[in-house]
Structure 1
Amino acid sequence: MTTAVAATATAARQGPRPRGLIWTVLRVHRPALLVWCAYVLLMVGWMLWVQHVSGARIRAELDACRRRPEGACIDVMTFSHSMNEGWIGTFIAYSSYGIAAWAGAALVGRELERGTAQLAWTQSVTPTRWLTVKLAVPAVALTAGTTVLVLVYRWFWSADEVLRGDEWYYTDPFLNRGPAILAYALCALAVGALAGLALRRSLPALAVAFGFVLWFHLYLDDHWSELWPMRTITGTVSGHDLDALPASHFWPLHLMTTGVVLTVAVAATGAAYWLLRRRTR
């Protein structure tokens, strides 16, 4: 009786913990989760440093520069700020490449290659539940981390218009300021899982998932501006009509892009479940 009471008290002190397949996924892929958390913290720290440390120094230099005779200022530090801003935007915008590679190689492909997935299916875990947990756990982590990055990047990008180098219609700030970048992350996860299920080997799945997301990302970068009608301006240059993208088109274009990426993500997820059921009948 005393032992049972002690065990109950110990469990109460420890509190609720994830168990079963969720706990297994967290333990197996703990290094990837730690890398993702470190990446999010690094990017947030980088943005804070650029804005509050190097940005403050540049703003002070510009204030002093305005009091000097005309032509005495060299805008080197502002260029450096724009370079930092550009690299930050690029790292956030293209993080889906790493997600696709990891999902194809480690999340699914390696377990099918080593037979650990098949072993789990012979226990109390069905293949459908196995894949659901495999996708749901990283999807939650990706959603949480990407949401933090989007919110901080939106503040970072709009905090200082004087030093800002990228226009809103440039690819990186266009994607990073809304849910499109999260859609890319979830799409990369789904494509990686599908590649792992289809190929059942880690390295080929890594290559296929990475290659597809790379192509899809670059293709949509070149065509997202076609997803919403442009505004036509007549007679601005030599009497010719010019197409323009006003800032008011950001959200229509961004949401249309998000919808296209999510459509691919849903299609890849559905194909993964279909393939899994077909191979495990």
Structure 2
Amino acid sequence: MIWVTWRQHRTQAIACLALLGAVAIFALAVGTWMRMSFRADGLPACLAASGGAGCPAVLTSFVHRFDNNIAMYINVPLIAIPGLLGIFAGAPLLGRELERGTWRLAWSQTVPRTRWLVTKLGLLTGGLIVFGAAVTALMTWFHQPLDQVTARVQPGMSNTEGLTFTASLLCAFGLGVLAGLLLRNVIGALVVAYLAWEVPSTVVVLLSGPINIPAPAVMRIPCRAGCPGASTVSVPPVTGHLGDFVLGITRSAGELVVTYLPASRFWTIQLIGGGLYLAVAVAALGTAVWLLHRRTT
């Protein structure tokens, strides 16, 4: 089974290795440059002495140079990669067998079809977890200087750290497997699975944006002079705490009413988003195993 799985899915495995290599080259090259600039700008001493309050101009320049202009070249593609890679690994697993009719040979051997599917799912899921963990480790190292001076809970950075990336990858894979079984057509399964993956992805984005679960914190700041320069993109943030993700600012009776996500909620947000992805993945894969066990025609 291991040899057959490798033969049938080696294209996806090679694509994962190539993609991981590209991410590693970018992360190591730019991450090293970022660390050199971080030290050259004197940010470690400033953060240690004043928490960033003593060098707002240097902080702003560093964040704009790397977070707003360079990091997006890797953060943006990595938002879509879990969905694309997951469905390309999952959709052919059953869809190709059913589309070509090779299931008649594959499932008439000494290995029962349920064991055949569970074994392949175990091997592919393990490989995807290793790939996701490797990308997450690289991106966590890459973002480490930015995590000290920007909001780690903001979309983009939080999508490639913690649990979200790997969980999103498994979600797309599970939906791809189920779509391949139901549609019996690889191309159709790819399209349907990607559209289905967009649903939990949108929910996760909404949970960390307009819906805000958990609820954002609120801070009221006296502001007699109008607080010029206070905005959601202030660096340091208007809350005065590096790492907070400011969602909105309103002025009321001489005060700034600031709604924000504290940096301390990073893992809470990761567990909610990652848990949603994993729940969808388990439901999709469990349904596929159950359906395959019940019928093959």
Unmatched 5+ residue regions in structure 1? 1-20, 64-70
Counterpart residue type for residue 252 of structure 2: S
Structure of greater Rg: 1
Work out the CA distance in 2 between the residues paired with 1:245 and 1:205. Answer: 38
The Cα of 1:194 is off from its aligned counterpart by 0.3
Q: Output one character per residue of 1:53-108: Cα deviation in whole Å (capped at 9) or x when no partner.
A: 4x367569868xxxxxxx9xxx6995366433112122233212212331344222
Aligned pairs, number: 248
Once the two structures are overlaid, the 10-residue window that deviates more, 225-234 or 143-152, is: 225-234
Match of 2:89 among 103, 112, 134: 103
Work out the CA distance in 1 between the residues paired with 2:65 and 2:5. Answer: 44
Once the two structures are overlaid, the 10-residue window that deviates more, 129-138 or 182-191, is: 129-138
Match of 1:119 among 98, 105, 118: 105
Work out the CA distance in 1 between the residues paired with 2:152 and 2:62. Answer: 23
Counterpart residue type for residue 282 of structure 2: V
CA contact (8 A) 1:100 1:209 kept: no
Match of 2:19 among 14, 39, 45: 39
Matched with 2:241 is none
Q: Output one character per residue of 1:115-149: Cα deviation in whole Å (capped at 9) or x when no partner.
A: 12231111112111121122111211111111111
What TM-score, normalized by structure 2, do the two folds share? Answer: 0.74
Identity %: 30
2:282 aligned with 1:266: yes
Matched with 1:9 is none
**The residue matched to 1:29 in structure 2 has which SS?**
helix
2:126 aligned with 1:140: yes
The Cα of 1:43 is off from its aligned counterpart by 0.2
Q: Following TM superposition, where does structure 1 have runs of at least 4 consecutive aligned residues deviating by more than 4 angstroms?
A: 56-63, 75-78, 239-242
Unmatched 5+ residue regions in structure 2? 43-56, 223-250
CA contact (8 A) 1:104 1:205 kept: no
Work out the CA distance in 2 between the residues paired with 1:199 and 1:30. Answer: 23
What is the 5 A alignment of 1:1-281? 21-53=1-33, 55=34, 79=65, 82-160=68-146, 167-224=151-208, 226-234=212-220, 237-239=251-253, 242-280=258-296
**The residue matched to 1:243 in structure 2 has which SS?**
strand
What TM-score, normalized by structure 1, do the two folds share? Answer: 0.78
RMSD: 2.7
Q: CA 1:235–1:57 in structure 2 vs 1: closer, same or farther (change >3 Å)? A: closer
The Cα of 1:253 is off from its aligned counterpart by 1.5
**The residue matched to 1:196 in structure 2 has which SS?**
helix
CA contact (8 A) 2:200 2:277 kept: no
Work out the CA distance in 2 between the residues paired with 1:160 and 1:224. Answer: 19
> Which structure shows the bigger proportion of residues in helix conformation?
1
CA contact (8 A) 2:9 2:89 kept: no
CA contact (8 A) 2:91 2:173 kept: no
